Amino acid sequence: MANFSKEELEVVVVGAGPSGIAISACLNKLGIKNIVLEKEDCCAYLWKKKTYDRLHLHLSKKICSLPFMPHATSSPKYLSKNEFIQYLDEYVEHFNIKPKFQTCVELAFYNSEENKWNVKSRNVASGEMELYACDFLILVTGENNEGYIPNVVGIENFKGNIIHSSDYKSGEQYKDKKVLVIGSGNSGMEIAFDLSNYGSHTSIVIRSPIHVVTREMVHIGMVLLKYLPISLVDTMIAKFAKFKFGNLEKFGIPQRKKVHFQLKSQKVLPGISEIKEHTVMFENGEERQFDAIIFATGYKNVATKWLKDYSSIFLDDGTLKNEFPNHWKGENGLYCAGFSKRGLAGISMDAITIVDDIKTIRGDKI
């Protein structure tokens, strides 16, 4: 790495999604020199190019803003995908955030001789290598880093279309087709709903217990969390949901965790045991034919592939070493934001907390 010219900075931020721009905005307000490295060609790449058309925020705009810039009073309570993207673009412009796009980080490690982080990156367009040395390294590649498709028995034999939810745009192309959605989180439920609206014959796999709740219930829960313990709020919202929707277990939906809207007209199926050329075998012995399978099975963090000294903040599988609220700080100036599974509110909290900590460490430098 000695062959590369080295640019020295106080802070290197890896990722220009909502977490990355929130961190950079907080740093810019304090006049702390930073650079945001982004492997794609725009900010908020996943929001702009890897989300489905009907996406709306599931939570009120009041708890979905980034630091120091609330949403306009004229905007709707639940922002659409395009409205939120516009907000992010305005945020970047307002705080003069200038990410270095098409810059892929290939290696980062702590140099104990220099007491600095060394970050090696490659310009995706030109192939040129770049090297940065910084006091603080902040990983904001986020929870939605790389789509995860489980290795289901026989998946390679399926003759139909298989995609991850990040590649789904709308149900228009699936009209009159038999589609299986695997996963009952927000994306899985909303994609299944969208498919039904477009006239596909939709089935959904729900293995883990859930609670079906409305956005209004979630909003009430978020407000209550300011005053009550999370265990009590969980119980209250669960009872409220059961009162509104009744016992959904008679429809094959085991109840426990939260999702954000009601099922429409999907067939609920148990876990998968095997995928064949044109059919799927389920754990209850049932076999059904499908034209397409959409995996809404989440994402995995791949930062540990290029971050060599991650043990203070991540486990080997890329999950957080420490639970919320102590998840954001590692050793030697290493931080992460956007991994707490608390949405945009968690992103803002992480950004402010991390930059406050950097400010404290820098002391009279500010």
With tokens 């299944």, the residue in question is 192
Q: Which domains does the chain have, with CATH numbers?
A: 6-145+299-365 (3.50.50.60), 149-295 (3.50.50.60)
| Predicted pLDDT of residue 208 | 62
How far, rounded to the nearest angstrom, does the alpha carbon of residue 346 sit from its chain's CA centroid? Answer: 11
- Rounded CA Rg of the chain: 22
Tell me the per-residue pLDDT of 11-34, one tens digit each, with 9 for 90 and over. Answer: 999 999 999 999 999 999 999 999
Token pair in block for residue 172:
């228009």
Q: 17-54 in b/e burial notation, b at 16+ Cβ within 10 A?
A: bbbbbbbbbbbbeeebebbbbbbbebbbbbbbebbbee
pLDDT of 3 over the 70 cut: no
Write the pLDDT tens digit of every residue in 246-292: 776 666 665 554 433 233 444 556 689 999 999 999 988 999 999 99
The tens digit of pLDDT for each residue in 35-90 reads 999 999 999 999 999 999 999 888 889 889 999 999 999 999 999 999 999 999 99
Residue the block writes with tokens 């930059």: 355
**What is the band of 232 on the pLDDT scale with cuts at 50, 70, 90?**
confident
- Residue 4 φ/ψ, nearest 5 degrees: -100, 145
pLDDT confidence bin for 98, thresholds 50/70/90: very high
**Which pairs with CB-CB distance under 8 Å and at least 24 residues apart come from 283-292?**
288/178, 288/180, 288/203, 289/178, 290/160, 290/178, 290/179, 290/180, 290/203, 291/160, 291/161, 291/174, 291/177, 291/178, 291/179, 292/160, 292/161, 292/162, 292/163, 292/174, 292/177, 292/178, 292/179, 292/180
Q: Is the peptide bond before 209 cis (omega within 30 degrees of 0)?
A: no
* 3-state SS record for 157-225: HCCCEEEEHHHCCCCHHHCCCEEEEECCCHHHHHHHHHHHHCCCEEEEECCCCEEECCHHHHHHHHHHC
